[in-house]
Amino acid sequence: MGVVLAVDDESGIREMLRIVLGRDGHRVLTAASAEEALRVVAAEPVELVLTDLRMAPVGGLELLAQVRKASPDCFVVVMTAFAEWDTAVRAMRAGAFTFVRKPFENNQLRATVQRALGARDRHLAAKGSGPSEPAVHLVGSSPAILEIHHLVDQVAATDSTVLVTGESGTGKELVARALHYASLRADGPMMRVNSGALTPSLLESELFGHVKGAFTGASEDRPGLFALADHGTLFLDEVGDLAPETQVKLLRVLENGEFLPVGGRAMSTCDVRVVAATNRDLKAMVAAGTFREDLYYRLAVITVHIPPLRERREDIPLLAGHLLSRHAVKLRRGVAGFTADALAALTAHDWTGNVRELDNRIQRGVALTQQGDIGREALFGDLGGDPVPTPPGGSRALSDQAVRQIKAGTPIDMEREVTAMERRLVEAALEATGDNLTEAAKLLGISFRQIRYKVRQLGLR
């Protein structure tokens, strides 16, 4: 149980907080203003401040800054109205543990307070043993990568949810792992799930677990990833592919740590930090009504964007050397490095598949080189010895013949041309991944359901 200070300029809310939290055994102090709250913090051993954002003349954001300065080990939870998402997110970026929406359910409030006090206990325990060191390193020296390192250092020790964005293959899971191993949860589990690789019903069972008899084949109770990741981190990949019903259930977990196993009747609780990733524009999806706005703000408290490899070419030599060392050990090859023309070709290539494609090329080069330096032919021999640049204008180069016809004023069958290009792209992705639909979908930047539909639609299987 902890010492909680409830700050609100409405006496009814202060009294309600005192009664509800007092029933859980907390010692609840109250303050009607930010000025009064600061006096209480200076005089009492407050462990958690629960404050409204809209107060006059000093608001919750300024109170947060003052509390963090006066008592760094005191955690802060802010209370916000639905329309104040931006302010609530700013509060978390400024150091608040989390926020709760008004009006809130009593159980949600109690669970949030308990999670905040638990996180504070871990924070104090970690101070005694020194900060954790990241066990995963993001390779690169570009300004973008250095900024990502800075963000990881800033937010790893908090429980803020993080949204990692970027094209497929840029290394979003590496950022999630770096966050986990630099956090106070480093000794806990880290679980991963690809939201686009499962149907909505299977994904819900994977996330929340199920009870015996919930559906055909459910012969026993099975815990989900939220239960397995308790006191750890859950990496939720391809979050933009979540079905609407799953979005609602995920929001509940993020708000109060509660979830209902499939087929279950009793709510379960967990203490999990979520790191989500997507290669889609979630803001555009919110505007289109396909992604919940409240869930977006819950996930995007901290946003980390990883630029594509072609926009940070200075990282390519470092990445290539790192991957070469890894594959040389794995394949037992005595390779030392790259020839000058091979390194030039690596740097010039546009890497539409990003780090995943680079890793594939380096593995090929190591496999085809017994010892010495890897040459250009070993890397790109199957492409005629030269890297293939991204065609100018991207999608404008769907078909050279079709473009020539259009310029000559000759009509084309656009649907047929687009279908032909889709077929070539899907076939290439399947060939590159050995017909692995999940990996092929990643190369194409689409979901598992989308590629499965395309394979059937195009008659490829």
- pLDDT tens-digit readout, 225-281: 999 999 999 999 999 999 999 999 999 999 888 999 999 989 999 999 999 999 999
> HSE of 199 in the Cβ direction (CA atoms, 13 Å)?
4
What distance in Å separates the CA atoms of residue 280 and residue 122, rounded to the nearest whole number? 34
Averaged confidence pLDDT in the chain: 85
CB 155 within 8 A of CB 180: no
Considering only CA atoms, which of 363, 357, 355, 429 is closest in space to residue 174?
A: 355
Domains of the chain: which residue ranges? Answer: 3-129, 143-307, 313-383, 402-457
CB 163 within 8 A of CB 299: yes
The residue behind tokens 């076939």 is 427
pTM higher than 0.85 for the full model? no
Architecture of the CATH domain 402-457: Orthogonal Bundle (1.10)
Contacts of 235 (CB under 8 A, 6+ apart): 173, 176, 177, 180, 190, 191, 192, 193, 275, 276, 277
CB 121 within 8 A of CB 111: no
CA distances from 17 to 92, 105, 123 (A): 21, 11, 25
Burial class (CB in 10 A: 0-12, 13-18, 19+), 279: buried
CB 36 within 8 A of CB 72: no
Architecture of the CATH domain 313-383: Orthogonal Bundle (1.10)
Superfamily of domain 143-307: P-loop containing nucleotide triphosphate hydrolases (3.40.50.300)
What distance in Å separates the CA atoms of residue 4 and residue 310, rounded to the nearest whole number? 50
Contacts of 401 (CB under 8 A, 6+ apart): none
pLDDT at residue 384, rounded to an integer: 60
Please determine, looking at this structure, whether the domain spanning 3-129 carries the CATH number 3.40.50.2300.
Answer: yes
Do domains 3-129 and 143-307 share one topology? The answer is: yes
What confidence tens digit (pLDDT) does each residue in 136-185 have? 567 888 888 888 888 888 888 788 899 999 998 899 999 999 899 888 88
